[in-house]
Amino acid sequence: MRRIRYLDIADELRSRVRNAAPGSLLPSESELSAEFSASRVTIRRALELVRDDGLIAARQGLGWFVSTEPVRQSLERLGTIESQLETSGKDAVRQVLEFTFESPPPHVKQILGASKVLRVKRINLADGEPFAVVTVWCPASIGQKLSMDDVERTPFYELLDVELRGATQTIGADSADAALAELLAVPVGAPLLKCQRVTTDLAGKPVLVSEHYFPAHRTEFVVELPHDEPSITPAGLRLVE
């Protein structure tokens, strides 16, 4: 008997994704339609069959991707991305893209109160796949003894000759522009999690500002909430314009 077309396509897609990296993106439905000379309806049916096997998933603005267990990052303590990735059994690698002393952008200058800063931009990989794009600023007076090799090998927290009190982290939603999309291997406009972290010394003075961009389908932030008076409002919620 003649085999139904979408079943053959589903079999081929299963073979591909079983050998693909977790979290990696599949071609778009239109690209698959052209490749297999099949209608979008046929391609969608094949993809749904593979999804039913638990091999792939889809997200609005991102498309279809190989199913992966999201990397969970705890917000209970001040720590690095690398340490949390290693705790979860993943191979963590950082690659420094830019290392420069410069005048800070206005929002960083307002926080750090410095007219000159060290700016370091890097990409973090988890098991060889792009996981985060991070930019860190610190006052030039603190970062002047650091080198590009230093910040590629060792977390900032371990390099600074400053005792740290803690940090405030703000998490919001964003979408990938062309530069971030290329670095994170996602489509332009794909959903991202954007985190800004301000780290302070023992006196409460900000010494680091960092901005982190994560592919939304690969990341979960986890926090344990202490018991408080009953409320229907999530703790830490605030309105933004």
Q: Calculate what percentage of the chain has a pLDDT beyond 90.
A: 50
71-222 under CATH 3.40.1410.10, yes or no: yes
Rounded Cα distance between 169 and 74, Å, is: 12
With tokens 């919001």, the residue in question is 172
Length of the chain: 241
CA-based angle 66:125:163, to the nearest 5? Answer: 140
pTM of the full structure: 0.78
Rounded Cα distance between 190 and 177, Å, is: 8
Q: Does the pLDDT at position 1 exceed 50?
A: no
Q: Does the pLDDT at position 130 exceed 50?
A: yes
With tokens 């000379």, the residue in question is 37
For residues 165 and 241, the model is more confident at: 165
Q: Would you say 213 and 177 are in contact if contact means Cβ atoms under 8 Å apart?
A: no
What backbone phi and psi angles, to 5 degrees, belong to 167? -155, 155
Q: Would you say 152 and 183 are in contact if contact means Cβ atoms under 8 Å apart?
A: no
**In Å, what is the CA distance from 86 to each residue of 8, 17, 71, 83?**
39, 25, 11, 5
For residue 228, what pLDDT is reported?
Answer: 62
For residues 30 and 78, the model is more confident at: 30
Q: Looking at residues 208-233, what average pLDDT do you find?
A: 79
Rounded Cα distance between 30 and 240, Å, is: 37
| Sequence-ordered list of residues with C-beta below 8 angstroms from that of 19, at least 6 positions apart, any chain | none
Number of neighbours of residue 76 by Cβ within 10 angstroms? 9
231 pLDDT tier (thresholds 50, 70, 90): low
**In Å, what is the CA distance from 104 to each residue of 17, 58, 97, 189?**
43, 38, 17, 27
Domain with CATH 1.10.10.10 in the chain: 5-66
Structure tokens that stand for 229 in this block: 């008076």
Rounded Cα distance between 22 and 105, Å, is: 36
Q: Does the pLDDT at position 3 exceed 80?
A: no
Q: Does the pLDDT at position 97 exceed 90?
A: yes
Domain with CATH 3.40.1410.10 in the chain: 71-222
Q: Does the pLDDT at position 201 exceed 60?
A: yes
For residue 17, what pLDDT is reported?
Answer: 92
Mean pLDDT of the chain: 86
Fold of 5-66: Arc Repressor Mutant, subunit A (1.10.10)
